[in-house]
Each structure stands twice: as C-alpha cells, then as structure tokens.
Chain A
Amino acid sequence: MVKIPRQKMREQDPSERIHNFSEVALGFTKEMAEIEAQRCLQCGDPKCVNGCPVNIDIPNFIRLIKEGNLLEAIRSIKDYNILPAICGRVCPQEIQCEEACILSKRWEPVAIGSLERYVADWERRNQLKECPDCEAPNNIKVAVIGSGPAGLTCAADLARFGFDVTIFEAFHKGGGVLAYGIPEFRLPKEIVNDEIETLKMLGVKIKYNMIIGKILNIEDLKEMGFKAFFIGVGAGLPSMRKIPGMNLNGVLTANEFLTRTNLMKAYKFPEYDTPIKIGKIITVIGGGNVALDSARVALRLGAEKVIIVYRRTEVEMPARKEEYHHAVEEGIEFQFLANPTKFLGDDKGNVNRMEVIKMKLGEPDASGRPRPIPIENSEYIINCDTVIIAIGTNANPVLTKSIPDLKLTKWGYIEVDEMGKTNLESVFAGGDIVTGSATVISAMGAGRRAAKSINQYLRSKYL
C-alpha cells in the first residue's frame, strides 16, 4: 500500500488561473479518492487524530471512503467538524494531521485534507446535506457574537446540544474572515454560504449588521433573555509599524485590500461600486497566509509583477505550504531576508519605491523562530506602485470596551481558561480575539471547547 504514490488534487493551470478568481484546486476525482483512501494504514493508535485540533476520527472516515460509503464518511466527519468543506481547503494539514501521519516518517502522508474536502464536496454537489442529530430543544437562549470560524463552530455545537442560538454578525454577510479575508480562489464564497445554511438547518438564527458593543451590549442581550455569550469577534486593527512613508497613497493594509476585493467584490468594479487600485508592481510585506492571499489577489487584479518581502526565509514562513507552492507556480517573486525601512513617493504623494534592508537569521526569539537581524548598510530599493502590509493584527477594542469588567491581556485580547471561560460568569470567548491572529481550525477548536463549556455551565445552572 505504501507503494501507491500520494494522490495530488487536480488544479487549474497557473497560466490560466492568474487571470480568474475561480478556485485553484479542483479536488479529487472518485478514483483518486479511492486510491488515496487505500494508502491509510488504519493505525490502531492513530497519531493523525491527535494532530487535528478538533480530533476528527480520521481513520474511520477514510475507511468509509475506501468502502465506498461516502454518506457515512461525511456523517463521521461532521460528528467532529461542522465545516469540513472549509477545513479541507484552508487547514494547514502539513503541520497538523498529515504531519502526524505515520507514513510521513518514510513516505508521503495520506492526503487527509484533500479527502476531507472530497467527501464534503460530494455531499454538497449531490445536495445530500442533512440536519445533524440534535438534542431536544431546551429553549435556553445563547448569543454568539461573530460569525467567523469560532462563532460558526460554537453555534453549531450549541444548537446540537439543544440550545436556542442566535449569531450576531457585524458585517452584512456571514463568515467573518472566511468572507472578507480568504479569497474566492482559495475558498469559494458559495461554500461559506452553504456551510452557514447548515447552521440554519440546526435552527441557528443569524442577525447581520449587529455590532455588539454598539447597537446592543451584553446587558441588553441579558435583558432579551440570553443566558450565555460566546465572543468570537476575531482580530482587529491591522498592525502597522511606524515606517517613514507609511502614509503615502498606495500603501495599504492587507485587511483593507482583501476586504475590498473579497467582501465588497472590488475585482468586479465598476459593476460593483467599491474600487481597488493596484498599479503594475506590487510588494507585499509579510510571510503568512494573508500575505500570500494578498499577493495572489493582486496578480489576479492585473498586476504585472508581485513581490513578497519577508524578513525570514521560506522555512520560517507561517503560510500554508500548499499556498506557497501555488504562489511560486503563479510567478510571485519572493525576496526573503529583507525588511522595509522606508517607503518613498512621487510629488503627488503616491508610493513609487521602497527601501529594504537585508536581514540574517540569529538565535531563536520568543516565537521559537530565528530572530531576523538587519545587516548594516545593506539597504536597496524596490520599485513599486502599491505596498500591502500583511504583518498581522492587534486586538479590536469595539466589543471589549463595552464590557468594562472583562479581563483582558495587556495587548487587549480576552483572557480565558483552557475551556474558553472568561472571568465573567456566562461569558466565553475564543478565536483570534483570544489568541491574536491564528488559523481557521484553531479558532474552530476554541469555538468547540467553549461550546462544551457553555453546555456544562447552562446545564448545571438551568436544567
């Protein structure tokens, strides 16, 4: 079995896909999925399950694929993960389940992510979506604030525990970062909407344009009968280093760039009213998924050249490996070990060049990665029309400011215990507003743990 090579998803050809926003990876065919499923050794003590932040019973669903029982396979996944079509696409499997796969020691790991995606897509394509099993309704109201991955997962689990769940979303569309952050070619919005429909099948209500902390606060929600609260409002304010020239036109945050394109569909301007300006040469600062997404969006918007400037090397890049390979295939240029020192502009205040300094790697820093150290007098100039800053985010204060007693870290993130409990009774939190910028799946894991915790709390108090 180990002699069977790992199957690789079909993909749109790079020369074509850089001109459209359609999905890059096209998924497994039935044959590929069956072959890949055979590669799983069905370990008695499966390491992959521990590698998964939500502990999907991976050998079980793969066995079901092998047996041709896709319906049971999707049911098995959904016992652990309500959003498989999303996770199959955006999880960093190479550092989670697939890294733990026993095959990866000598050969290539089972393509767990691609198989998960295959089963979820099969279900959606055949419109076989069914309402997951739920406990009898107990009519206890729970408010979930934010409809990103943490909120969606928490809401789904709570609904299955029998609670009456309402999600309050600040934007006019659901999904949080899945809607405004991750581009269409990596995660089609149709899939996000479809996963949200699953929640509606569970009886979850979603209220849009509801900025909790502004239109209603926790006290108002208590008066409306809500007994517990999950805060999953995500990260906020883009992090911006104080670099000379940061305020030139053409220097923008990845959040603005991606929100304009993904949520507001600026790539369809003027059919859609929200514009985006890019020019010919685009530089993106950062090495995470957001940086790669921005770079690849810029390419699709018609950029002639896109350069990612990252202060460490490709080894330390926090981005998902598959996306890095996709970016390389698409012709994105990488300048590693380089860091911007200033942005320079023309007489109209538009950026047209940036100065970067070469870096070398030193001893590991707090993040465990080697610390980048500037090499003196190594500055050089890169010409560019647009600079996209993708170096992370800080905590968003809008909601937390409205709950004065809520305990925050010194950076403004919410403090919780390992089960997502805050210092306030009935208030729970998870996702980026707790951890700072992290991954979709880790937010989902936090949403799931908090749902368990909320279930315990409400049962002991009201049932």
Chain B
Amino acid sequence: MPYKILKKNQLGDSGTLFEMDLHTPLIAKKAYAGNFIIIRINEEGERIPLTIADYDRENGVITIVFQVVGKSTLLLSHQNIGDELLDIAGPLGNRIHIEKFEDPIVIIGGGVGIAPCYPQAKELKQAGNRIISILGARTKNLIFWRDKMASVSEELIICTNDGSEGIEGFVTKPLRELISKQKISLVIAIGPMIMMKNVAELTSGNEGLPRVKTFVSLNTIMIDGTGMCGGCRFPSKDGEIHFACVEGPDIDGHIVDFNILLNREKRFAEFEKQSYDLYKKKCKKFDTQ
C-alpha cells in the first residue's frame, strides 16, 4: 500500500518544525484524538511513533507534526510532496476519554506537543466542553497552529521562555493562575517530558493548589507499538510496570514516575547523536541551514 505525502509545510521559521499530510484512508477512518501511528521511511529506517495531529476521514488523510531532533526526523523532513513512506501502521494506542465536564478543561501543548493537543481540544469541545488552551515554547518561532487552536478554544494563552510572545515563562505559570482562581475539571499536558512532569506536580494537590485530574501523553521510545516489545514501559510511583503503547499514550499524570522515565528516554542518546552526525555529514542539504 503506498503511503503518499500529500502536503508538507514548515511551521514557524525555526526550520525544524514540519507538518505533513499523509494519504492513509483506512487509518483516517479510525483515527481519534490520542491515537498514534508508527512510520518507517525506508528499509534501513527506525519505526518512529508519531501522534496523529489531525484527520480528515472524507479525504483519507491524517496529519502529523514533527520536530527535527535526530536522524529519523531529519530524514523525514527531507521527504517531499508526492514521495511515499515505506510503512505506516496505526491508529495505535487508545482514544482519549471523552466526557462532558462541568468546568473548563485546560489543554497545554509544549513545543511540538502543541500538535496532538488539537484533536483532543476539538473532540472535547464537540462534546460540549469549554477549552482553555496554553501553548508554550522556548521562543515564538516554535509556536504554531495559533489559529487552529484558537478555533477550538474559549481562551488561548501563549507563553514563551524568552518572553518573545505572550507570557514570559513556563506553561506552569498561567496554569497556576488558572487553577488557583477557578474550578478546572481536567488538565491535559502534551510536550517535553519535563514539562509534563512539572504540570503533573502542580496539579497533584501537593502544591497548595487543588488537585486536578491530569492526563499526559507518553510518546516514549517504542518499536512495535502493539504491546509486544516492552520498550515503551514506564513505572508508576507504586513500582508497577506499565506499557505506554497499549495503556496510553494518554496516562494519568499523577501515577507516572517521571524521574525514572526521564532517564529511560536518554538510554540511546549516544547512538542517536552518532546516527544524526553521520547523516548530517552525508547531507549537504542540511549544511546550508
């Protein structure tokens, strides 16, 4: 089955963020917020898990957003409209729980994690919820989908670490304010592991603020993504072992032992760097960037 790239856009002007539309009618038909796919670009390629950022059932299209962080994502960024990916498997993982809540839901996207927030916000809004979105990144050119997120949010808050747009500081700054001044029924946080950890701590009820149910999206290192290899496993604070691919990717943030998970995600760092450096050397195209 050919998996054609129908659209490719750069997001922002950092040169590292891309959105791609992929022609996968069967997956598009079954995709929901929370699901992910696993792609393989070529025969030598890794299996790369990517959260589905949007879907269009009529046209058989799913959208992915990725940031160039290593060889595989750099290689993906070099694929163009009309090119075909070798493999796409999905939709994997579980759909998020959809429910109409009394009070607003805060959805927090950090960096490339903004993308998977969109379908969650969309589906939760369709169910009648009020959505407050917080988009955060290091700097303003890493923020994207402002309009898309605004279209599914009652309130859109932007923050950047360097203050180049919106509030200066981390996403926890506006979140702290929100939950201290009003009732929030649910917090959803998707982004860097450290951001999700900080959000989960803030909402845990141990910070002098009310405890708010919090979901985080664990895009851990995976191979099969179907509950076979165990690469994606993470411990909960009670020491039990969980598998992000079949139990998640959206998990109750208050059970996750983030300290262990943060370390687990570094376990192939030296190889990732080696692979990236080798590819960059081969790749003149990248030298100009």
Chain A positions near chain B (C-beta within 8 angstroms): 170-172, 180, 207-211, 214-216, 234, 236-238, 240, 242, 246-247, 249-250, 252-253, 255-256, 259-260, 263-265, 269-275, 277, 348-349, 396-398
Contact = CB atoms under 8 A, between A and B. Distances in A.
Nearest to A172: B87
A209 B223 contact: no
Contacts of A256: 223, 229-231
Given A209-B88, A214-B30, A252 B268 contact: no
A252 B267 CA distance: 11
A215 B227 CA distance: 16
Nearest to A249: B267
Interface string B47-61: 100000000000000
Contacts of B267: 249-250, 277
B235 A172 contact: no
Nearest to B238: A242
Nearest to B257: A247
Nearest to B243: A237
Given A172-B47, A210-B89, A253-B233, 7 more contacts: A237-B230, A240-B230, A265-B44, A273-B71, A273-B72, A349-B263, A397-B227
Contacts, number: 129
* CB-based closest 8 A-B pairs: A275-B271, A253-B230, A209-B89, A238-B230, A172-B87, A349-B263, A256-B229, A249-B267
B241 A269 contact: no
A170 B224 contact: yes
Contacts of B268: 275, 277
Nearest to A253: B230
B44 A215 contact: no
Contact of A270 (B27, B227, B274): B274
B226 A172 contact: no
Contact of B89 (A172, A234, A253): A172
15 contacts: A170-B89, A171-B89, A208-B1, A214-B91, A215-B26, A238-B230, A240-B241, A247-B235, A247-B257, A256-B230, A264-B47, A269-B271, A269-B275, A270-B274, A273-B46
Contacts of B87: 172, 208-209
A259 B223 contact: yes
B4 interface: no
A342 B243 CA distance: 21
A369 B243 CA distance: 31
A71 B46 CA distance: 42
Interface residues of B, number: 47
A220 to B, nearest CB: 9
B147 interface: no
B30 A275 contact: no
Mostly, the A contact residues are loop
B260 interface: yes
B228 A255 contact: yes
B229 A397 contact: no
A236 B90 contact: no
B74 to A, nearest CB: 11
Interface string B249-272: 000000001001001101110111
A432 to B, nearest CB: 11
Given A172-B86, A264-B47, A273-B45, A246 B241 contact: yes
B51 to A, nearest CB: 15
Contacts of A271: 44
B208 interface: no
A236 B240 contact: no
Nearest to B260: A247
Given A170-B89, A172-B87, A209-B89, A270 B275 contact: yes
Interface string B90-134: 111000000000000000000000000000000000000000000
A147 to B, nearest CB: 14
A234 B224 CA distance: 13
Given A209-B87, A237-B227, A273 B44 contact: yes
A348 B264 CA distance: 10
